[in-house]
Amino acid sequence: MNSAGRLIEGRLKHLETHLEQENPVLLKTVQSFKTLDRIAYRTGLLDTDDSYATQIPWWPLISVLGTFSSGKSTFINHYLGYKLQRTGNQAVDDKFTVTCYSREKTAHALPGVALDSDPRFPFYQISEDIERVAQGEGERIDSYLQLKTCPSERLRGKILIDSPGFDADAQRTSTLRITDHIIDLSDLVLVFFDARHPEPGAMNDTLDHLVSNTINRNDAGKFLYILNQIDSAAREDNPEEVVAAWQRALGERGLTAGRFYTIYNPDAAVPIDDPDLRKRFERKRDADLEEIHNRMHEVEIERAYRIIGVLERTARDIEERAIPAIGEAVSRWKRRVIWGDAFAFGLLFIALFAITLKLGYWEGLRFTPPWMETLLNSPVIQIFSAAGVLLVLFGVHYLIRSLAARSLLPHLRKQARTLTIRGDLAQAFLRNTKPWRSIFSRSPAGWGRGARKRLAQVKEDADNYVQTLNDRFTNPSGEPALAAEPEQMIESYPEAEAQEPETPRPGSAQQA
In a domain, 40, yes or no: no
- Name the CA dihedral angle for 210, 213, 214, 216, rounded to a multiple of 10 degrees: 150
**What's the pLDDT score for residue 288?**
93
Q: Are residues 175 and 268 in the same domain?
A: yes
- Answer yes or no: is pLDDT of 444 > 70: yes
In a domain, 82, yes or no: yes
Q: Are residues 68 and 143 in the same domain?
A: yes
- Answer yes or no: is pLDDT of 496 > 50: no
Q: Are residues 289 and 362 in the same domain?
A: no
- From 405, 423, 441, the end of a domain falls on 441
When pLDDT is averaged across residues 481-494 and rounded to a whole number, the result is: 39
* pLDDT tens sequence across 278-321: 898 889 999 999 999 999 988 888 888 889 999 999 999 999 99
Q: Furthest-apart CA pair in the chain: how many Å?
A: 125
Strand order in the sheet with 145-150: 108-111, 145-150, 96-101, 159-162, 61-66, 188-194, 223-228, 260-262
Q: Are residues 234 and 354 in the same domain?
A: no
In a domain, 412, yes or no: yes
**What's the pLDDT score for residue 450?**
94
Q: Quick one: which of 142, 96, 94, 95 has its CA closest to 117?
A: 142
Q: Are residues 257 and 356 in the same domain?
A: no
Q: Are residues 245 and 341 in the same domain?
A: no
Q: How confident is the model at residue 455 (pLDDT cuts 50, 70, 90)?
A: very high
| Domain coverage including residue 402 | 323-441
- Return d(Cα 115, Cα 481) in angstroms, integer: 43
Q: Are residues 116 and 215 in the same domain?
A: yes
- From 382, 409, 441, the end of a domain falls on 441
Residue 262's DSSP bridge partners are 227
Q: Does residue 52 contact residue 33 with C-beta atoms inside 8 Å?
A: yes
Q: Are residues 216 and 122 in the same domain?
A: yes
Q: Are residues 142 and 201 in the same domain?
A: yes
* pLDDT tens sequence across 185-233: 888 999 888 887 655 554 566 666 677 766 667 777 888 889 888 888 7
Q: How confident is the model at residue 252 (pLDDT cuts 50, 70, 90)?
A: confident
The secondary structure of 373-404 as a DSSP string is HHHHTSHHHHHHHHHHHHHHHHHHHHHHHHHH
In a domain, 215, yes or no: yes
In a domain, 308, yes or no: no
CATH of the domain at 254: 3.40.50.300
- Return d(Cα 61, Cα 303) in angstroms, integer: 8
Task: List for the chain the helix, strand, coil content (%; round to 5).
Answer: 60, 10, 30
Stated pTM of the model:
0.71
Q: Are residues 345 and 396 in the same domain?
A: yes
- Answer yes or no: is pLDDT of 8 > 50: yes
In a domain, 153, yes or no: yes
- Return d(Cα 114, Cα 503) in angstroms, integer: 12
Three-point CA angle 470, 476, 478, nearest 5°: 120
Across the chain, what does the average pLDDT equal?
78
Q: Are residues 119 and 170 in the same domain?
A: yes
Q: How confident is the model at residue 88 (pLDDT cuts 50, 70, 90)?
A: low
Q: Are residues 209 and 341 in the same domain?
A: no
Q: Which residue has the higher pLDDT, 232 or 52?
A: 52
Q: Does residue 162 contact residue 64 with C-beta atoms inside 8 Å?
A: yes
- Return d(Cα 60, Cα 26) in angstroms, integer: 13
Number of structural domains (the chain) is 2
- From 401, 423, 441, the end of a domain falls on 441
**What's the pLDDT score for residue 90?**
47
